[in-house]
Each structure stands twice: as C-alpha cells, then as structure tokens.
Amino acid sequence: MTKTHPRMTVTKAVVPAAGLGTRFLPATKATPKEMLPVVDKPAIQYVVEEAAAAGLSDILMVTGRNKRALEDHFDRAYELEELLARKGDRDKLRRVQESARLANMHYVRQGDPKGLGHAVAVAEQHVAGQPFAVLLGDDLIDPRDPLLSRMIEVQQELGGSVIALMEVDPSQIHLYGCAAVKPNGFGEDVVRVTDLVEKPDTADAPSNYAVIGRYILDPAIFDVLRETKPGRGGEIQLTDALRGLAVRDASTGGPVHGVIFKGRRYDTGDRADYLRAIVRLACEREDLGPEFRSWLRDFVATEMQS
C-alpha cells in the first residue's frame, strides 16, 4: 500500500487532456478539444495559468492522439518569435511567448482513452508518492474566483483528498459525479464526502452537489485505481475510485473532503457552455469588450423583436 504524507506540500499538477471530445466533432477530429480557442487563447492555457497561479509549477499533461498541438503550444516557436521580433511587434511576441513560460511542462501518453480514472493512473510515476492536483483540461474556473488555492489549504490542514463541489439544479445532476456530504466543522465551504455516484438519475442522487474538475488527491488513489473496474460508459471512473478513498481513514489515504465552489465556471467540453464562456469573457475584455458588448446589445434587441 502507498505510504501517505498528509502534510507534504502540493507542487505537481496533472492535467488530463486525452479524451476524444466527441461532443465537439468534427472540430475535434484532428484537434484536441482542449485546444479550441476561448476568445484568443486555447482553453487549456487558462487551466495551466490557473495551476501556475496556485503555485503548481510542475505540470504533467496526459495526452492522446493529436498531442502535438498541445506540446507545441507550451513550447517556444522560434520562427514566429523571430519574425515578430523583426517587425518590432512586442505585444504579439509577448503573447506568443507567454504560454511557454508558465510552468515546467511534462507529457505522458494515455494510450487508449479508457476514462478519467485511467488518465490519472498513468501519472503515478511522475507524481512519485506526493499529494497532487488534478485539473480537467476542459473545465475553466474564472481566475477572479480562486478555488485551487483554497483546496490546497484544506488538504494541508486536513490531509486526505479534496474535491471541488458545486450546487446544480437537481435536473442537471445526471450530467455529473454527485457527492453525499456531511458537515466537518472546518468552515462553511468545506464538507466531508461520505459517498459518490457517477451521473445518477435525479431520483437516485444523494444531493445536488456536483463534482467539478479540480481535485487534490492523496497518492493512495493509485492503489484504488488499480482495483477499479470499468464503470459507467465502460470507462474507469475517477469518481468510483474516490468513493473507495472516501471510506478510508487517514492511516490509509482517506478521507475525502469537499470544497463548495460558488464562483464562475465553464465546461468548455459542452458546446452551449463553451459559447457562454466566450461571450462572457469577450464582454469583460478591455480591448474587445466595449465594441463587442455594444454589438451584442443590438443583436439581442433584434432577436427579441423577431
């Protein structure tokens, strides 16, 4: 059994980005969905920026087919940089270089995309027995509503693993992993997770707390993942493995805590949410916002009339 170190600092992040992105076909036929632009940055860059802002400077990206675009994006682009430098276009040059300077990037291939639990399992060697963060490559958390640093703080205080929860309308819970929770006396936004179920029907859901794509995991998760059989959709589900950790005590890598997130979040793997993310972020941008908001106001007014 993996030895656990509840108070070890969290320095590494794992970003699974090997899914097939079938909801976005044909856009994702030759491009990973995590590379789809949200305004003018690929979705995955927001995620890597979030990890770096929380002090996680070592990032392992789990990739699959079409991984080149992901690797190239976080690497230098010498020809392009030289061209922009020659033109004296410092602003574009800065934007091109930014992504390569964010963190120490590492890559591992998942092989077959057998599910999120399987994607996390391939990170075992890199994580090397420390608690680590997992950030889903298609889940955007608004940088003004910090979540990851709070989760790290809770993990450092309480040990075990920490997942992010968000209240959703009960009619939507079938789209998420769902957590049964009880108070744990550590602040209004923190609960103890007693059970988990992947994408339950509304009638069977133990709560309306949905699991969203940020986790701080104890390395004991790898022992549980090895034993985890394919679940819903024939995939190895991270939710099922977390369920195994939730019933453990501190001496064997448990328990699981939940941080309740009330901020802004976008699931860029979902087409409607992806569009909402672009509109909202474009409206808030200093450079694009004023013109775009004015166009949007006219557009909506016209739509309302028709």
Chain residues that interact with ligand UTP, rule: CB under 6 A: 16-23, 62, 110, 113-116, 118-119, 136-138, 269
The tokens describing 226, both together, are 């090895």
- Complex with ligand UTP: residue 55 or 113, whichever CB lies closer: 113
Smaller CB separation from ligand UTP, 84 or 217: 217
CB contact set of 32 (below 8 Å; sequence gap of 6+) = 17, 21, 44, 63, 64, 66, 67, 69, 70, 137
DSSP state of 248: S
To ligand UTP, the closest distance from the beta carbon of 21 in angstroms equals 4
CB of 280 to ligand UTP, least distance (A): 20
- Closest to ligand UTP by CB, 36 or 162: 36
CB of 216 to ligand UTP, least distance (A): 17
Whole-number minimum distance, CB 120 to ligand UTP, in Å?
8
Q: What backbone phi and psi angles, to 5 degrees, belong to 112? A: -70, 135
Radius of gyration of the chain (CA): 20
d(CA 144, CA 141): 8
Straight-line distance from the first to the last Cα atom of the chain, in angstroms, rounded to the nearest whole number: 64
| Nearest residue to ligand UTP, scored by beta-carbon proximity | 19
Distances from the Cα of 263 to the Cαs of 58, 60, 147, 155, 172, in angstroms?
25, 26, 8, 20, 18
Task: Indicate the residue among 94 and 271 with the shorter CB distance to ligand UTP.
Answer: 271
Return the number of the residue (93 or 103) whose C-beta is nearest ligand UTP. 103
Residue linked to tokens 């550590």: 186
CB of 137 to ligand UTP, least distance (A): 4
